[in-house]
């Protein structure tokens, strides 16, 4: 009998503890829940959340999606009852996928902060996404190596400084001459590895492809906005395919790595090659600075890291600038309570207009923001960010917007990347790459 009672009590305890443990997990819900896209800034956001709670008493929950898993994480998080109140979409295509969840924020203060309100994501009368960081990419070069080349007696070109490289032909002449003299220059190749392994090929299938498609969209621009024009395009002609090939060929033929081995290289590999001074150039954006400076034993000096435009051999490209834009737009979840939505906007406004917030944004997050609340002095100080600001402020340059935010889907980009890998390995011809771009565009858009 005694045993029976004991057994009953024990099993009751067991059951009760099951439920109470579950109960413990349910803490007080935070009013603001931000699903962060940038894993490299996860720690900074955690810190910010704490600071904000100290100042205002409002709890902020920050969850960071692991690299390349934002869509997956968002898909599962947003279906929960405690859903993210602030999330981000990557442009018009991202908005299209998430429009059932995006709140119209045209009356928010955050929107009024924008220096250029055209940057926001519009749909009808509403504003659904607000960019919070401006980024730029081009060909990053090591000025020390370039200077060394220009000083060479054996130099076969008549170009004497980087500022004279203003077209693809000149770039090609310099690069090919540098390749023949790489031993003298102390480098192993002019360009860092054209990383083509799976998930590491976005610099080519997205960033590089942006340039020829931009020129195509400018040609018959009936919307006066190449991005919207591209967004409407059911089909593309890809008539600048040859120009796309120009620069891609230059990359892979003057690379530190043999063409057939590119399928195993990652972005980190190529940034390390640049940081260690093994190469003179690498195509990437200002976010790459943290990778360059983070490489152990890097030899490149901060003052030598510069950026030049990606010339692809278009007529009149002398004034072409770098590619500047964003794929980071804040959106507020439409389906959470009004209280939460307001708290979320308040948090973002605090982040981009209060002294503490701004300090974090420019110094720790290193964002060049598109907001008028930031003064010139409050822009980040790393060498690549400075280059972006230089290109943005110099009237001479026609910078290329990031129209790849209107590319139809991830699958399109992946298929283009696959085709580029096949081309680099020699298993496919350039015509096949061209066909893939055109046909995949059509099938993914429909």
Partner 1 sequence: MKINQYRRYFPIFVAPCLVAFLIAFVIPFVMGLFLSFTEFRTVSNAQFVGIENYIRAFSDDSGFLESLWFTVKFAIISVITINVFAFFLALILTKSVPGTKLFRTVFFMPNLIGGIVLGYIWQVIINGVLYNFNYSITSDPTFGFWGLVILMNWQMIGYMMIIYIAGIQNISTDILEAAKVDGAGGFVTLTKIIIPSVMPSITICLFLTITNSFKLFDQNLALTAGAPANRTQMVALNIYETFYSRNGYEGVGQAKAVMFFVIVAVIALAQLYLTRRKEVEN
DSSP bridge pairs for 34: 62, 86
Of 414, 430, 435, 438, the residue at the interface with partner 1 (CB under 8 A) is 414
Of 261, 302, 359, 381, the residue at the interface with partner 1 (CB under 8 A) is 261
Does the footprint of partner 1 cover residue 9 (CB under 8 A)? no
Does the footprint of partner 1 cover residue 422 (CB under 8 A)? yes
Of 5, 21, 24, 79, the residue at the interface with partner 1 (CB under 8 A) is 79
Q: List all residues 6 or more positions away from 87 whose beta carbon is below 8 Å from its beta carbon.
A: 34, 35, 74, 78, 98, 101, 330, 331, 333
Which of these segments, 55-63, 74-82, 239-247, 283-291, binds partner 1 (CB under 8 A)? 74-82
CA torsion sign for 372, 377, 382, 386 is positive
Does the footprint of partner 1 cover residue 96 (CB under 8 A)? yes
Contact 342, 83 (CB under 8 A): no
Does the footprint of partner 1 cover residue 18 (CB under 8 A)? yes
Tokens 């020129």 belong to which residue?
215
Does the footprint of partner 1 cover residue 337 (CB under 8 A)? no
d(CA 17, CA 9): 12
Angle at 401 between CA 396 and CA 407, to 5 degrees: 160
Which of these segments, 41-49, 130-138, 260-268, 357-365, binds partner 1 (CB under 8 A)? 260-268
Of 389, 409, 435, 438, the residue at the interface with partner 1 (CB under 8 A) is 409
DSSP, collapsed to helix, strand or coil, labels residue 433 as helix
Q: What tokens does 403 get?
A: 């129209």
Does the footprint of partner 1 cover residue 17 (CB under 8 A)? no
Closest CA to 135 of 304, 313, 428, 382: 382
Closest approach of Cβ 409 to partner 1, in Å? 5
| H-helix segments, 332-409 | 338-353, 355-359, 383-393
Of 98, 287, 367, 441, the residue at the interface with partner 1 (CB under 8 A) is 98
Please say which residue, 24 or 151, places its beta carbon nearer to partner 1: 24
Q: Which residues, numbered 382-401, are part of the site for partner 1 (CB under 8 A)? A: none
Burial class of residue 389 in the structure, from the number of CB atoms within 10 Å of its CB (0-12 exposed, 13-18 middle, 19+ buried): middle
Closest approach of Cβ 190 to partner 1, in Å? 20
Residue 11 CA, chain-centre distance (Å), reads: 54
Please say which residue, 382 or 415, places its beta carbon nearer to partner 1: 415
Q: What mask, x for binding partner 1 by CB under 8 A, covers residues 177 to 206?
A: -------------------xxxx-------
Which of these segments, 11-19, 23-31, 143-151, 204-212, binds partner 1 (CB under 8 A)? 11-19
Q: Specify the pairing of strand 329-332 against strand 86-89.
A: antiparallel
Q: What residues line the site for partner 1 (CB under 8 A)?
A: 7, 11, 14-15, 18, 71-72, 75-76, 78-79, 93, 96-98, 100, 196-199, 258, 260-264, 408-411, 414-415, 418-419, 421-422, 425, 427, 440, 443-444
């Amino acid at each position: 009998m005694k045993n029976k009672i004991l057994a009953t009590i024990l099993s009751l305890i067991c059951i009760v503890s099951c439920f109470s443990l579950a109960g413990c997990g349910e803490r007080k819900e935070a009013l603001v829940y931000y699903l962060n896209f940038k894993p490299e800034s996860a720690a900074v956001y955690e810190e910010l959340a704490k600071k904000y709670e100290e100042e205002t008493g409002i709890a902020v929950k920050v969850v960071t999606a692991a690299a390349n898993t934002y869509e997956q994480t968002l898909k599962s998080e947003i279906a929960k009852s405690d859903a993210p109140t602030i999330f981000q979409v990557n442009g018009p295509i991202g908005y299209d996928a998430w429009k059932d969840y995006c709140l119209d924020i045209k009356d928010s203060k955050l929107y009024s902060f924008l220096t250029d309100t055209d940057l926001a994501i519009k749909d009808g009368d509403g504003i659904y996404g607000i960019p919070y960081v401006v980024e730029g990419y081009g060909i990053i070069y090591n000025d020390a190596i370039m200077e060394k080349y220009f000083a060479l007696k054996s130099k076969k070109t008549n170009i004497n400084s980087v500022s004279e490289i203003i077209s693809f032909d000149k770039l090609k002449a310099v690069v090919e001459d540098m390749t023949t003299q790489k031993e003298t220059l102390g480098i192993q190749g002019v360009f860092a590895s054209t990383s083509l392994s799976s998930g590491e090929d976005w610099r080519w299938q997205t960033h590089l492809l942006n340039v020829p498609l931009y020129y195509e969209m400018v040609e018959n621009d009936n919307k006066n906005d190449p991005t919207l024009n591209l967004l409407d395009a059911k089909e593309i002609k890809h008539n600048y395919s040859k120009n796309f090939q120009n620069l891609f060929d230059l990359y892979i033929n003057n690379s530190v790595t043999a063409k057939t081995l590119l399928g195993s290289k990652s972005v980190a590999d190529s940034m390390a090659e640049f940081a260690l001074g093994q190469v003179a150039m690498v195509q990437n954006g200002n976010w790459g600075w943290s990778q360059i400076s983070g490489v152990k034993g890097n030899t490149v000096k901060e003052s030598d890291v510069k950026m030049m435009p990606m010339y692809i051999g278009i007529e009149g490209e002398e004034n072409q600038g770098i590619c500047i834009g964003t794929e980071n737009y804040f959106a507020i979840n439409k389906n959470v309570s009004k209280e939460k939505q307001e708290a979320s906007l308040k948090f973002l406004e605090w982040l981009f207009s209060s002294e503490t917030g701004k300090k974090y944004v420019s110094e720790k997050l290193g964002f060049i923001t598109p907001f008028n609340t930031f003064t010139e002095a409050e822009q980040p100080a790393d060498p690549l960010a400075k280059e972006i600001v230089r290109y943005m402020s110099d009237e001479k340059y026609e910078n290329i917007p990031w129209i790849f935010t209107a590319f139809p889907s991830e699958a399109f980009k992946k298929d283009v990347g696959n085709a580029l890998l096949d081309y680099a390995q020699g298993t496919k011809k350039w015509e096949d790459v061209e066909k893939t771009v055109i046909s995949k565009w059509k099938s993914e858009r429909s």
